[in-house]
């Protein structure tokens, strides 16, 4: 009986493969096609032309030769055919040096919501330090009952958590407030990434150190050449801040803070101090240059706003986006939405320059302070138009237009926190361009 069942199953499998037209499991057909390179080329041409399924499926060269042998050990890399997918330094607002600079994530080439570690955007204030984890030390001091110093080995023994969060530079979009300076979505919105961050809740370590009454602020400082530092309210440090040593399952990359960084969910990226060496508690902010000049916001009355930490709800269409060309017919609009103050509740998309809006489909999971993918099917009729998206978060906040932001902020100089609705135009030839103004 056992042999009979086995024979039946094997016969069923063979029949299934034949019905599916599998050439690689039909030795006779495979050999026939394999003899003629001309036949292979003809098959490829037929498929490229979209001819009927009755045409024989070509046997690719990869089917006819041994593949690459398995190395004894290696760190896997993307296919050589994906070599064009890279972070890129800005070529819109060009710095004269690259020590205090940034590179941007290719959002239009990111699949899913998690950014690969090699594509997470960078922002450095004085280059990338090389830090030996065996020598690195992290201290907690100031208004604590017991100052503490940790080695990396010490920290790895604490209970950890892994959380999906987006990270965005406060300067994301700074070149495109009032004019179309950038061409692609990588240039307009690429200081944005999302990863699964692994580390220790800051609250765990602060509890061990013992927070003294009256400690309301914490100073976090990095071990880089700029000693970049920020003052952070204790409430946020105790709420959800993490001491992170890994991203997406591997130890941090050097450019993202190896071996240790602070991570502040939902807030501007510059407060998530990389190469973290100390946290000092105090009863007031330190008012560093980064808090009185660099990361501040001009207001309509001429004053400047400090400590505007949270990244408000925002979205952008990533496909089609600047630099792409589309054809009339069915198109799937793709994009990302995110909010530093909660999760995304809805995304609306306009396909007629803002006259009407349609609700897009949100792709689960929709997580707190995490990138959310949205989709909308659209049949483009070939007429020139403008498309854009607007996000609504779980607090009810609606992504504003630039005109609405201008009513409460002064759009001048080196402006931060651009979360305005961002349009792309499509001309009659299908060319997609930045349409911010």
Statement to judge: residues 273 and 379 lie in one domain: no
Report yes or no: 354 and 424 within 8 Å, Cβ to Cβ.
Answer: no
Residues 6+ apart with CB under 8 A from 357: 348, 349, 350, 390
Statement to judge: residues 357 and 330 lie in one domain: yes
In a domain, 263, yes or no: yes
Instruction: Give the C-alpha separation, 288 to 29, whole Å.
Output: 73
pLDDT, residue 20, reads 38
Statement to judge: residues 295 and 318 lie in one domain: no
Enumerate the β-bridge partners of residue 250.
247
Write out the two tokens for 389: 């998206």
Instruction: Give the C-alpha separation, 115 to 194, whole Å.
Output: 5
Write out the two tokens for 274: 């990389």
| Residue 7: CB atoms within 10 Å | 10
Statement to judge: residues 372 and 223 lie in one domain: no
Q: Tokens 């922002």 map to which residue? A: 123
pLDDT, residue 95, reads 78
What CATH number is attached to the domain comprising 342? 2.60.40.650
pLDDT of the chain, 437 residues: tens digit per residue: 444 555 555 555 444 444 333 434 444 444 443 444 343 333 333 333 444 567 889 999 999 999 999 999 999 999 999 999 999 998 887 777 788 899 999 999 999 999 999 999 999 999 999 999 999 999 999 999 999 999 999 999 999 999 999 999 999 999 999 999 999 999 999 999 999 999 999 999 999 999 999 999 999 999 999 999 999 999 999 999 999 999 999 999 999 999 999 999 999 999 999 999 999 999 999 999 999 988 999 999 999 999 999 999 999 999 999 999 999 999 999 999 999 999 999 999 999 999 999 999 999 999 999 999 999 999 999 999 999 999 999 999 999 999 999 999 999 877 899 999 999 999 999 999 999 98
In a domain, 171, yes or no: yes
Last residue within a domain, chosen from 267, 300, 333: 300
Q: Is the peptide bond before 320 cis (omega within 30 degrees of 0)?
A: yes
In a domain, 253, yes or no: yes
Statement to judge: residues 271 and 366 lie in one domain: no
Statement to judge: residues 372 and 287 lie in one domain: no
pLDDT, residue 10, reads 52
In a domain, 56, yes or no: no
Statement to judge: residues 118 and 211 lie in one domain: yes
In a domain, 33, yes or no: no
Instruction: Give the C-alpha separation, 170 to 193, whole Å.
Output: 13
Statement to judge: residues 224 and 342 lie in one domain: no
Report yes or no: 59 and 42 within 8 Å, Cβ to Cβ.
Answer: no
Statement to judge: residues 272 and 398 lie in one domain: no
Whether the CA torsion 247, 252, 254, 256 is positive or negative: it is positive
In a domain, 228, yes or no: yes
Last residue within a domain, chosen from 300, 328, 362: 300
Q: Which domain holds residue 322?
A: 314-434
In a domain, 294, yes or no: yes
What CATH number is attached to the domain comprising 137? 3.90.420.10
In a domain, 5, yes or no: no
Statement to judge: residues 160 and 272 lie in one domain: yes
Statement to judge: residues 405 and 272 lie in one domain: no
CA-angle at 146, arms to 140 and 151, nearest 5°:
45
Report yes or no: 170 and 424 within 8 Å, Cβ to Cβ.
Answer: no
pLDDT, residue 151, reads 98
pLDDT, residue 27, reads 44
Report yes or no: 237 and 202 within 8 Å, Cβ to Cβ.
Answer: yes
Report yes or no: 423 and 435 within 8 Å, Cβ to Cβ.
Answer: yes
3-class state of residue 21 by DSSP: coil
What is the number of domains present in the chain? 2
pLDDT, residue 90, reads 81
Statement to judge: residues 260 and 344 lie in one domain: no
Last residue within a domain, chosen from 276, 300, 324: 300
């Amino acid at each position: 009986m056992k042999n009979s069942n086995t024979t039946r199953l094997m016969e069923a499998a063979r029949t299934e493969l034949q019905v599916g037209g599998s050439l690689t499991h039909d030795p006779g057909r495979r050999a026939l096609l394999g003899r003629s390179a001309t036949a292979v080329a003809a098959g490829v041409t037929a498929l490229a032309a979209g001819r009927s399924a009755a045409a024989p499926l070509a046997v690719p060269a990869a089917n006819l030769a041994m593949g690459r042998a398995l190395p004894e050990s290696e760190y896997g890399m993307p296919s050589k055919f994906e070599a064009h997918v890279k972070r890129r330094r800005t070529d819109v607002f060009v710095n004269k040096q690259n020590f205090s600079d940034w590179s941007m994530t290719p959002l239009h080439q990111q699949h899913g919501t998690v950014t690969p570690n090699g594509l997470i955007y960078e922002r450095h204030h004085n280059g990338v330090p090389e830090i030996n984890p065996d020598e690195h030390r992290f201290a907690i001091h100031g208004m604590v009952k017991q100052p503490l110093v940790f080695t990396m080995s010490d920290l790895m023994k604490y209970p950890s958590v892994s959380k999906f969060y987006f990270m965005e530079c406060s300067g994301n979009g700074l070149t495109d407030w009032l004019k179309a300076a950038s061409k692609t979505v990588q240039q307009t919105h690429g200081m944005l990434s999302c990863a699964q961050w692994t580390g220790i809740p800051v609250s765990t370590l602060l509890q061990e150190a013992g927070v003294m009454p009256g400690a309301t602020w914490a100073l976090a400082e990095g071990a880089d050449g700029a000693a970049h530092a920020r003052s952070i309210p204790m409430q946020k440090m105790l709420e959800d801040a993490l001491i992170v040593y890994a991203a997406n399952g591997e130890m941090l990359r050097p450019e993202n803070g190896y071996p240790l960084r602070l991570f502040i969910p939902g807030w501007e990226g510059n407060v998530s101090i990389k190469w973290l060496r100390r946290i000092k508690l105090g009863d007031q902010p330190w008012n560093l240059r980064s808090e009185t000049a660099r990361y501040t916001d001009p207001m309509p009355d001429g004053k400047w706003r400090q400590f505007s930490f949270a990244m408000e709800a925002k979205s952008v269409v990533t496909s089609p986006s600047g630099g792409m060309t589309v054809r009339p017919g069915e198109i799937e609009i793709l994009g990302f939405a995110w909010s530093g103050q909660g999760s995304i509740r809805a995304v609306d998309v306009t396909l007629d320059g803002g006259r009407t809006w349609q609700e897009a489909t949100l792709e689960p999971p929709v997580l707190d302070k995490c990138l959310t993918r949205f989709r909308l099917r659209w049949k483009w009729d070939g007429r020139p138009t403008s498309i854009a998206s607007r996000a609504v978060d779980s607090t009810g906040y609606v992504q504003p237009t630039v005109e609405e932001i201008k009513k409460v902020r002064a759009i001048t100089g080196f402006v931060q926190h651009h979360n305005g609705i961002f349009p792309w135009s499509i001309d009659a030839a299908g060319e997609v361009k930045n349409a911010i103004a």
